[in-house]
Structure 1
Amino acid sequence: MARRSAAPAAGSAAGGGRREQAAATAAALKAAAVRVFDERGYLNTKITDITAAAGRSAGSFYNHFTGKEALLETLLADMLTASDERVDREHPYDHDLSDRDVLRWHVAGFWEAFRDNKPVFVAVTQAAMVDEHFGARLADLMSPDQGAIRRHLELLADKGFALPGEPAAVAVALTGMWFQFTYRQLVGGFLGGVPELSDEAAIDLLTEFSWRGLIGGQHRTARPEGA
């Protein structure tokens, strides 16, 4: 006689259902927070705004997050994980920034990451105004791009191009300019009177501006042997 498979324990099934429900609640709260941060701004958002948008109780919020700051940390971690996966998948580390197309790839990646995660970028920027912790997290947010650009600039210098400064400092200046311009175009709030550009036009402008600052009219110069 064939042996019957044991039926799953009722407690196990119930536990699995609770875990799925908890995961769904956490996902709903995070999605609602992104929407509300985008509509009202991080500083003006209350936890009850998030729970109302998610259709969840305030009590359920505290089952998952200790506060609004913890929720923002989770959103930031999710974004950084997705960004790291993209870079690992698509990013060759021998990029030559003297090639406009290569430089444009970096600019476009920065622009698209900001555009696709705008509520989180803006929320972290706003939180940094009132919380030193998020000031440090904002620096962390820029660090991967700065590190990648620094390595490429070191390669550029090794190929004989004269950089406007030390690679690490130039990387900070370059990505800082990208952040300020992208923020102004996609969010606003800095200086007025700046024309709004399409994504492609903005990426082209940043690329050309960056390329001229790095390369200008110079050509690669051969290094002396043994240098």
Structure 2
Amino acid sequence: MSTRAELAGRTRSDLLAAAKRLFSERGYLDTKITDIAAAAGRAAGSFYSHFSGKEQLLTALRSELAETAVPGPAGDNPIREHVTACWTAMRTHRPTLIALLQSAIAAAPASGRLWHELTTRTAPLRRHLEDLRDRGEPLPGDPELLAAAVGAMLAGLNHALPTDDGRVADTVTNLVLYGLAGPRVGADASDAENRTSR
């Protein structure tokens, strides 16, 4: 026989799983608490036994992200590895990250919440870019802003693309390394990549 704590734990898990499904299908802003409760097969009152509202549920989902930290780059192309690791994590946790993005965008611009989300999620890439700058490598701008720009591109694509065809990480990496013009004709395509791996 299940204990009360086990039943409560199962209800909480069911509510979180239902929220992720609905956030993936409808988005955070268009999902109501009653929708989450119904999708979990629970009464709306049971939602409030576990969460004070959607923001607290989102905080619980955010804590799951902290438990799955992305390892740092170990190979020859740290920029590509950072972007690939970030994209893989985004796709793995797509419903939660869509909800975090929509919630941050819905916050007042003066709150700085979206900037905080971007800079927090892209801190590993920012640190790598700072290392490059400190070793004398030329960068097109401030490492924090550059990392946030990459994060914004990835977050937008994560939100927009229902399925991943495998091209995103390479496309964004190439955009970062070569810009819109791509590698120079006749230039060794590994020049920019070699610069970023020093």
TM bucket normalised to smaller: 0.7 to 0.9
Q: Which residue of 2 aligns with 1:71?
A: 57
Give 1:60's aligned amino acid: S
Q: Which residue of 1 aligns with 2:40?
A: 54
Matching of residue 32 in structure 1 with residue 18 in structure 2: yes
Give 1:153's aligned amino acid: L
Q: What do you get for the CA RMSD once the two structures are aligned?
A: 2.9
Unmatched runs of 5 consecutive residues or more in structure 2: 184-190
Q: Distance in 2 between matches of 1:145 and 1:138?
A: 11
Q: Which residue of 2 aligns with 1:166?
A: 142
Unmatched runs of 5 consecutive residues or more in structure 1: 1-13, 188-195, 221-227
Change (3 A) 1:37 1:168: closer
> 1:102 offset after TM fit, Å?
2.3
Q: Which residue of 2 aligns with 1:202?
A: 168
Q: Which residue of 2 aligns with 1:110?
A: 86
Q: Which residue of 2 aligns with 1:125?
A: 101
Deviation string, structure 1 residues 158-195 (Cα, Å, up to 9, x no partner): 333111123233222333333334433x25xxxxxxxx
SS of the residue aligned with 2:122?
helix
Change (3 A) 1:22 1:136: farther
Contact 2:87/2:169, CA 8 A, preserved across alignment: yes
Give 2:14's aligned amino acid: A
> 1:137 offset after TM fit, Å?
4.8
TM-score, length-scaled by structure 1: 0.68
Change (3 A) 1:82 1:141: farther
TM-score, length-scaled by structure 2: 0.77
> 1:197 offset after TM fit, Å?
6.7
* Candidates 122, 128, 149, aligned match of 1:152: 128
Q: Distance in 2 between matches of 1:197 and 1:17?
A: 41
> 1:65 offset after TM fit, Å?
0.6
Q: Distance in 1 between matches of 2:22 and 2:55?
A: 14
SS of the residue aligned with 1:165?
coil
Give 1:198's aligned amino acid: D
Bigger-Rg structure (1/2)? 1
Give the paired residue count.
183
Q: Distance in 2 between matches of 1:170 and 1:44?
A: 31
Q: Distance in 2 between matches of 1:65 and 1:75?
A: 12
